[in-house]
Structure 1
């Protein structure tokens, strides 16, 4: 549930984020607290950011103008980092939501975490794992909503790091929506299995059963995780798809335990 007392700063790298997803992003942020700071960074004189104009007013997002002083460099990144540190030092926020697919923000995330604030990341599936794993929780934009994601306008430095096929307009091709990963693929993901098993073991009773809510809390404390990044809306759906766990429901309480491995007595 959301905590209305938690204060979250939403900082958007408009050069590397689609305007069409901002509604879903703010809904996600509302689950963590109140987005009382909302800022989007970019060179607003650039026609490529025109898609952001209407949503800035609709969602009360403050545009931060940053001119591109050097070709191929993203000055917006630096402005966003400086503002984040200013906000951190003001000591009146409980968390940050960073909207970008740019791994250059990884050091910023790690610095924010050392001060005890949560960092929620939002970006495309192309986002490098270093940034994804650094966040308290990272959600792929393709997992939000049911519509087809729009092409994201990238700057020169991100285009070089993650090239994408372009359409006739020169924009990157739209990223495909996330589909559920099959069970055999999930069972081959050792990092995922270790995370799930470790969380269940830590929350389990003497019979090996763990309340699903406690498992979710354990996972959140251990790593950046969102079941939707694997194509499953809920943690219980993901656990069922893996096929190595047993789930049961008693009233409103759901529990899970690790199935004995084949051949084990």
Structure 2
């Protein structure tokens, strides 16, 4: 059995909503075990009352920190001091810093210098310096939207049976809900509000100013081309998993869910300059390579040919029948 990394999860209650607690703990479980689970805030304030129930349910330890003066955040200092104490105890191999505040930038850098794996979590409004200081960064609002979309699709498919199926579709259409389509007798719900459209991806935004810090998809595209051109292999191909790992190392906030996908293969298939092939005995290993100029030219010609056929499709006029009067 492979030993899992031990993590210290430290949450800034002043900058994170209680609704994200499930996504925080679920996401960090992908990296290891949460040995420390602490949250920092002034629990005498009414604004922190929403945390009470979720802390008990998830066994998160609240740390009380009073605000000594108005306008000064003493919570950050308490959180930083505890993080350094945990670091010197050598009881963990990684830290999860949950906040949308740039004040933890130096802390993240210091933890990384000590060989810790630092996973940051916050909303899309998180400043870029804090994101860059982490090994990986996850957007909590994106995690919540992805989870919500998955649950709604599952619930809709579960209900889509028998006579209830048509009623559910009709109800969604009448309520002006996101579109519902039928494919191979499976009902799939598409939420345009949760997926980033092409125009927004081009601008690096999803319609709000909060996304200005998210890595633009065109930057990801340029990085992929550069990495693929630097390969020394004869076939100029790279394992898909390795490509994903390199992108995360270069851009800590890179996560395919940020761009509306759930699998790396689906995300990479959006780029027409990439070719994805399966290798190995059972074809389980997927490799990515750049398409040659000849392949791209052939594809462009084929597309133009199809478009031309569609435009020049002959239109057969019905012949008018002639009627002759009997003499």
TM-score, normalised via structure 1 length: 0.79
1:212 to 229, 235, 240: 240
- Cα 1:47–1:7 shift into 2, 3 Å: same
- Cα RMSD of the aligned pairs, angstroms, is 2.7
Q: Kindly indicate whether residue 135 of structure 2 is the aligned counterpart of residue 118 of structure 1.
A: no
Report the CA distance between 1:190 and its aligned residue.
Answer: 4.6
Q: Could you give the per-residue CA deviations for residues 88-140 of structure 1, whole angstroms, max 9, x where no partner exists?
A: 11122110001111111111111111111111011111111111122111111
Deviates more, 1:192-201 or 1:207-216: 192-201
Q: TM-score, normalised by structure 2?
A: 0.65
**Cross-structure match for 1:17:** 16
1:185 aligns with 2:202: yes
Going from structure 1 to structure 2, the CA distance change for 1:216 and 1:17 (only over 3 Å counts) comes to same
Matched with 1:32 is 31
Q: Structure 1: 5+ residue runs without aligned partners?
A: 149-175
Gaps of at least 5 residues in structure 2 are 150-191, 205-215, 298-327
Which residue in 2 is equivalent to 1:168? none
CA distance in 2, matches of 1:223, 1:108: 19
Q: Counterpart of 2:291?
A: 259
**Is it true that 1:221 corresponds to 2:231 in the alignment?**
no
- CA change 1:242–1:129 in 2 (3 A) is farther
Q: Which has the higher contact order (CA 8 A, sep 6+)?
A: 1
CA deviation after TM superposition for structure 1 residue 256, in Å: 1.2
- CA–CA distance in structure 2, aligned partners of residues 103 and 96 of structure 1: 16
- Residue 79 to residue 32, structure 1, CA distance change in 2 (3 Å): same
* Alignment size in residue pairs: 235
Task: Note the 1:1-265 alignment, pairs <5 A.
Answer: 4-145=3-144, 146-147=147-148, 179-182=195-198, 185=202, 189-201=217-229, 205-224=233-252, 225-250=254-279, 251-260=283-292
Contact 2:277 2:286 in 1 (8 A): yes
Counterpart contact for 1:19–1:51, Cα < 8 Å = yes
Distance change >3 Å, CA 190–CA 3, structure 1 → 2? farther
